[in-house]
Structure 1
Amino acid sequence: MQTDNLLKQVNFIKEIDKLKYIQRKTKLFNSDRNENDAEHSWHLAMMAIVLAEHSNRSIDLLKVLKMVLIHDIVEIDAGDTFIYDTVKNHKNTDEELVAARRIFGMLPKEQAEDLIAIWQEFEEGVTDEAKFARSMDRFEPLLQNVSNNGGTWKEFNVPYQKVYEKKQVIEKGAASIWEYAEQLLNESVNNGILLKNTD
């Protein structure tokens, strides 16, 4: 006989399949195909495992993995907001909190509360785990855009200054990765795939 917990968990598992249909603006490496949120989350989890040694501080890797795997689940309801969107603020946390409560709320109470707390910790970006997780979240699309000859930077005419400002979050979690990322940004300017200004 199935327990009530199992049925709730299976329903949640079915619900999060929708993450595979949420399209991001960024494209896969050296590709014309848009990445979906599930692919993005998987890639961040692998990056966190591989790059953990570069975290500024000692981290609980399992918590980081939970963060990167669940951080975009709210987009099933709230949709993906492009980080460089000039109309909608990327920090649409009120809308996303409603989504978090609905989707994670499908789980048994203790699990739901745990995942909502981890999601909020990621959003706040204060703990060492959240800083590192957010570093991964900003680093992956940077690598994608470089591989795609400017990618979304070119497509949406995003200037260097705005990219730099958004990507600087990487430094809070992984200074050595930020040093490398900064170098990539400067090379992108030199290669003409990222504009220094829009004038």
Structure 2
Amino acid sequence: MTTDIHTITRHFLELDALKQVQRKSYIHGASRLENSAEHSWHLAMACWSIARSFDLKVDEGKLIKLALVHDLGEIDAGDTFLYSEHRSDAHKAERECIQRLAGHAGNGIRDLADIWEEQETGSSPETRLLKVVDRLLPFMLNVASEGRSWQEMGVKRHQIEKAHAFIEGEFPEVHAWISEQIRMAVAKGWLAEA
């Protein structure tokens, strides 16, 4: 393990690049788009809070680590919009980025690639919760901005329902809230029916 602070800080600057990756969701107040570093922090906090609020039997430390590494691959790959036709290919470039970051001489997290791979492909209770909350947060921000991103990107109701359908089996309370919000967004004209 390296103890060269210069090498370590160069790695930290590599990680800092996540702040430059712009997402399609507007922050609360809709003044600007969020970046992936902000989303990762929000994801970690939301997962931790939901785990406690619902008294879920998860390893909180593992859950937070999974959330923090979740979007690191976007440093090289960029953020792929949930409803993009290229979404299924995004993991390839992200995986290459993770290998690069994990192999950096200044990286002190020896299992970085393994943690990222688990959040990407795993089925542990922590990974499943992470996937639910990762869909919940941008959805919530879209509702808070009165569907601004949905309208700008031409997203339709059926796309949102399809992308969030898996949540019904994983976390029925969250799915019920999302379904209620979809109905409201359509009724208010924030989300196109078709």
TM (norm. structure 2) is 0.89
- Could you say which residue in structure 1 is the equivalent of 2:28? 29
- How far, CA to CA, are the matches of 1:107 and 1:169 in structure 2? 39
Q: How does 1:121-160 map to 2 (within 5 A)?
A: 121-160=118-157
Q: 1:27 to 1:62 in 2, by over 3 A?
A: same
Which residues of structure 1 form unaligned runs of 5+?
none
Q: How does 1:21-170 map to 2 (within 5 A)?
A: 21-53=20-52, 58-86=57-85, 88-106=86-104, 111-112=109-110, 114-170=111-167
How far residue 174 of structure 1 moved from its aligned partner, in angstroms, is: 2.5
CA contact (8 A) 1:30 1:144 kept: no
- State how far apart, in whole Å, the 1-side matches of 2:55 and 2:171 are: 5
Q: AA paired with 2:153? A: F
Matches of 1:170 and 1:54, distance apart in 2: 17
| CA displacement, residues 11-35 of structure 1 (integer Å, 9 cap, x when unaligned) | 3222101111111111101213010
Computed over aligned residues only, the root mean square deviation of the Cα atoms, in angstroms, reads 2.2
CA distance in 2, matches of 1:138, 1:89: 14
Corresponding residue pairs, total: 193
Task: Tell me which residue corresponds to 2:180.
Answer: 183
Cα drift, residue 161 of structure 1: 0.8
Identical amino acids, percent of aligned pairs: 31
Output the TM-score relative to the length of structure 1: 0.87
What CA distance in whole angstroms lies between the structure 2 residues aligned with 1:173 and 1:63?
Answer: 19
Greater shift after overlay, 141-150 or 176-185? 176-185
Q: Among 164, 171, 174, which residue is 1:174 paired with?
A: 171
Amino acid at match of 1:180: W
Question: How much has 1:107 moved relative to structure 2?
Answer: 5.3
Deviation at 1:40, TM superposition (A): 0.6
Paired residue secondary structure (1:80): coil
Structure 1 contact 133–173 (Cα < 8 Å) conserved: no
The separation in 1 between residues aligned to 2:133 and 2:150, in whole angstroms, is 18
> Structure 2: which 5+ residue stretches go unaligned?
none
